[in-house]
A and B are shown apart, each in its own frame.
Chain A
Amino acid sequence: MAARVLLALLFALVAGGVALAQGVVTATSDPTIRVQSTFTGETITLFGNIEPDAAGELPPGPYDVVVVLRGPAADRVVRQKSRQLGLILNSDFALYQSLPSFYRVLSSRPLSALADEEVLEAHALTLEGLADRALAETTGTADTFDAELVRLMREEGLFATDPRGVQFLSPTLFSARVALPANVPNGSFLARTIVFSNGEVVAQRASRFFVRTEGFERFLAESARDTPLLYGLATVLLAIVTGWLGGVLFRR
């Protein structure tokens, strides 16, 4: 599959039929990721090539490439437990609005070696910066909660950075492999590719792909959301039938 896409991409590049206004072209191995019941994760591969501009000149190399995957947004709350009246209670909280439920930063080199802090911030390449931007309100210290949010998201496999995630196949051709975990959220994903040269952004491109759960699970999740009463009644009916069948089967 990956090899086929690579060949197709190479063919397109050689044939010169691709519009190259942004200086980089990309293609993903699969425009739609389908989540099945036995889903334990999926790998998506993104290919890209750094292209000469309209005047036929390549930006000056050598290049560093960063690939950022951003999943659908959700509101999240981080809560801190502390001891009150001898009991462990949720006390301080921080609310994050429109926080991506999935974020991957893959680069060809460690980010700190690639560009200044400000440039990285401006392109939302640091997870702490991403968290801080989504922070809507907190009763505690913003920095503490930002760091904890990033840690928790990392532990769930929803946030990650990979400083060796982008490989160069030739001086201008690169690929990035992203493992999507089983709990990857459904919806529209944005893949941004940013080309750096000497700490400056020289080209960038964005493309979309979709992640959707399929089959029985998708049907269940949708009915639970869209027709909750029917879903509840069906669950109860299923339970009664199962119980009745069990009683009949094991009747002594």
Chain B
Amino acid sequence: MQIYLPIAEMSVNLFFLVGIGAAIGFLSGLFGVGGGFLLTPLLIFSGVPAPVAVSSVTGQVVAASTSGALSYWRRGGIDLQLAGFLVLGGVVGSFVGVWIFSLLRQVGQLDLAISMGYLIFLGFIGTVMLIEAIRTLIRNRSGAARTRRKPGQHTWFQGLPLRMRFKQSRLYLSVIPIIAIGAVIGVIGSLLGIGGGFILVPALVYLLRIPASIVVGTSLLHVLAVMAVTCVLHAVQSQSVDALLAFSLMVGSVAGAQFGASAGQFLRGDQLRALLALLVLGVAARFGASVLIDPADPFSMAVLRFGETI
């Protein structure tokens, strides 16, 4: 069944959209990530204009993280105070990101910037994740004891001012690194159309030592809030949010996520992380090809609108 996407200005098969939504939802449930970093590239590679793909996926990420955040909220797995500071930084970051987005669109290098962004960012994250996962796999196999950091150990930003007590996380730390992390994820997320949960979680765990019981729920709430703001900003600034596209994807992914979460229980954590790392590297490689290999068609055409100039 064909549906006409009014903003993307193309006819697409509805089952194709719901299908990829479900597939991404399955993977996001399996790995506990939002799935934006897979969905946006998939849409771009299937012919949806890059600006529309990036902006519309923000809507889908909101839906995906809402159902996740709700279940963590019921279990008390969200530190609202911590989430507040993260979101504060995230909103500032998403304003900056959307501004860069429309600037790049005006100079005609948005497609390149998105490809390069994905290549560098996913390439880096994927490599780090893969090394980490392989190390864990080897360590688990050899049966060596894990060296844990001692609780008394300090990192340099623990000495930063504006310290605050976070009761639920049982931490006493400066709000500066929290806001900074939120802002960085906000910029990246609004530029590339990803929630950023899969970087936020390790950042909170390794840099700020947020307890594992709190970290996933809090990061989901951050992604939800920042992506909601980004979605509205994209709608106002570049008018490239396709609500019909976003809705078709949401329906698929919300359903798919449930099956993914069930399937995830049959795989070990380190195996899951290795698989996810390979997936991330695969997407990065696909973008690398588009930036480094001569294109089949060097010419492209675009309609100028909304007072765009060259």
Contact = CB atoms under 8 A, between A and B. Distances in A.
Contacts, number: 189
Contacts of B232: 229, 232-233, 235-236
Contacts of A16: none
B63 A242 contact: yes
B112 A244 contact: no
Contact of A244 (B66, B109, B239): B66
A221 B236 CA distance: 13
A102 B294 CA distance: 30
B310 A95 contact: yes
Interface in B1-59: 1-4, 6-7, 9-11, 59
Given A78-B299, A82-B298, A247-B66, A239 B231 contact: yes
Interface string B193-223: 0000000000000000000000000000000
B291 A235 contact: no
B204 to A, nearest CB: 22
Question: For this complex, into which size category does the number of interface residues on chain A fall?
Answer: 35 or more
A239 B65 CA distance: 10
B108 interface: yes
A164 B60 CA distance: 47
B84 to A, nearest CB: 18
Given A38-B1, A239-B62, A77 B302 contact: yes
A74 B66 contact: no
Interface stretch (B129-137, B152-160, B246-254): B246-254
Contacts of A82: 298
A22 interface: no
What is the predominant secondary structure among interface residues of chain B facing chain A? helix
Interface stretch (A42-50, A52-60, A147-155, A202-210): A147-155
Contacts of A251: 71
Given A88-B292, A95-B310, A242 B302 contact: no
A243 interface: yes
A141 interface: no
A92 to B, nearest CB: 10
Contacts of A40: 2, 11
Contacts of A213: 4, 6
Interface string B271-308: 00000000000000000001111110011111111000
A149 B304 CA distance: 14
A18 interface: no
Contacts of A217: 4, 6, 244
B174 interface: no
B4 A244 contact: no
B4 A229 contact: no
A224 B235 contact: yes
A212 interface: no
Q: Which of B232, B246, B291 has the most CB of A within 10 A?
A: B232
A229 B234 CA distance: 9
B6 A79 contact: no
B241 A235 contact: yes
Interface of A: 35-40, 74-83, 86-90, 93, 95, 101, 148-149, 151-153, 156, 182-183, 213, 216-218, 220-221, 224-225, 228-229, 231-236, 238-240, 242-247, 250-251
10 contacts: A87-B112, A220-B7, A220-B244, A235-B232, A235-B246, A236-B62, A239-B60, A240-B63, A250-B67, A251-B71
Given A81-B295, A229-B236, A251-B71, 4 more contacts: A77-B108, A79-B108, A224-B243, A238-B59
Report the 4 A-B pairs with minimum CB-CB distance, sorted nearest first.
A243-B66, A232-B235, A246-B254, A247-B67
